[in-house]
Amino acid sequence: TRVLKFGGTSVGSLERIRASAAIAAADIRRGDKVAVVVSAMAGETDRLLRLAGGLGHGLGDEETDVVLSAGEQVSAALMAMALRLEGLEAQSFLGWQAGIRTDGPPGAARISGLDASPIRAAMEKGHVPVMAGYQGASKEDRLRTLGRGGTDLSAVALAAALEAHCDIYTDVDGVFTTDPRIEPDARRIEKISYDEMLELAAQGAKVLQTRSAEFAKARNVPLRVLSSFAEPGQSEGTMIMQAEDIAERRIVSGIAYARDQARIALRGLSGAPQSAASVFAGLADADIGIDMIVQSPASESGRTNLEFTIDYRDLDKALEKIGESDAREVLSETGLAKVSVVGLGLNRRADVARILYNALAEQKIGIRTVSTSEIKISVLIENDAVEQAVRALHAAYGLD
Residue 150 binding result from ligand ADP, Mg ion, none, given CB thresholds of 5 to 8 Å by partner type: none
Residue 181 binding result from Mg ion, ligand ADP, none, given CB thresholds of 5 to 8 Å by partner type: ligand ADP
Tell me whether residue 205 or residue 276 sits nearer to ligand ADP (CB atom). 205
Residue 25 to residue 1: CA distance in whole angstroms: 13
* DSSP states along 279-343: HHHHHHHTT---EEEEEEE-SSTTEEEEEEEEEGGGHHHHHHHHTTS--SEEEEEEEEEEEEEE-
Note whether 120 binds ligand ADP by CB under 6 A: no
- Shortest approach of Mg ion to residue 79 CB, angstroms? 17
Residue 8 binding result from ligand ADP, Mg ion, none, given CB thresholds of 5 to 8 Å by partner type: ligand ADP
Note whether 106 binds Mg ion by CB under 5 A: no
Note whether 181 binds ligand ADP by CB under 6 A: yes
**183-201 as b/e: b if 16+ CB within 10 A:** beebebbebbbbbbbbbbb
- Shortest approach of ligand ADP to residue 2 CB, angstroms? 17
Q: Name the CA radius of gyration of the chain, rounded.
A: 23
Contacts (Cβ under 8 Å, ≥6 apart) of 377: 340, 341, 346, 352, 353, 356, 370, 371
223: buried, middle or exposed (CB in 10 Å: 19+, 13-18, 0-12)?
buried
- Do the beta carbons of residue 172 and residue 230 sit within 8 Å? no
**Stretches 3-11, 320-328, 346-354, 368-376: which one binds ligand ADP (CB under 6 A)?**
3-11
- Shortest approach of ligand ADP to residue 363 CB, angstroms? 20
Residue 232 binding result from Mg ion, ligand ADP, none, given CB thresholds of 5 to 8 Å by partner type: none
- Shortest approach of ligand ADP to residue 89 CB, angstroms? 26
- In Å, what is the CA distance from 21 to each residue of 1, 92, 174, 379? 17, 13, 19, 42
Note whether 194 binds ligand ADP by CB under 6 A: no
- Shortest approach of ligand ADP to residue 298 CB, angstroms? 39
Tell me whether residue 207 or residue 298 sits nearer to Mg ion (CB atom). 207
Note whether 170 binds ligand ADP by CB under 6 A: yes
- Shortest approach of Mg ion to residue 60 CB, angstroms? 27
Residue 9 binding result from Mg ion, ligand ADP, none, given CB thresholds of 5 to 8 Å by partner type: ligand ADP
Note whether 47 binds ligand ADP by CB under 6 A: no
Note whether 175 binds ligand ADP by CB under 6 A: yes
How many other C-beta atoms are found inside a 10 Å radius of the C-beta of residue 205? Answer: 23
Identify which of 326, 328, 329, 332 has the alpha carbon closest to the alpha carbon of residue 288.
Answer: 332
Note whether 149 binds Mg ion by CB under 5 A: yes
Note whether 71 binds ligand ADP by CB under 6 A: no
- Do the beta carbons of residue 318 and residue 264 sit within 8 Å? yes
- Shortest approach of Mg ion to residue 397 CB, angstroms? 25
Alpha helices in the chain (DSSP H): 14-29, 44-54, 62-68, 70-85, 117-124, 150-162, 194-202, 210-219, 273-285, 315-322, 352-362, 386-396
Note whether 172 binds ligand ADP by CB under 6 A: yes
Binding ligand ADP (rule: CB under 6 A), the pick from 205, 341, 344, 385 is 205
How many other C-beta atoms are found inside a 10 Å radius of the C-beta of residue 353? Answer: 12
Query: Which chain residues interact with Mg ion by CB under 5 A?
Result: 7, 149
Query: Which chain residues interact with ligand ADP by CB under 6 A?
Result: 7-10, 39, 149, 170-172, 175-176, 178-181, 200, 205-207, 254
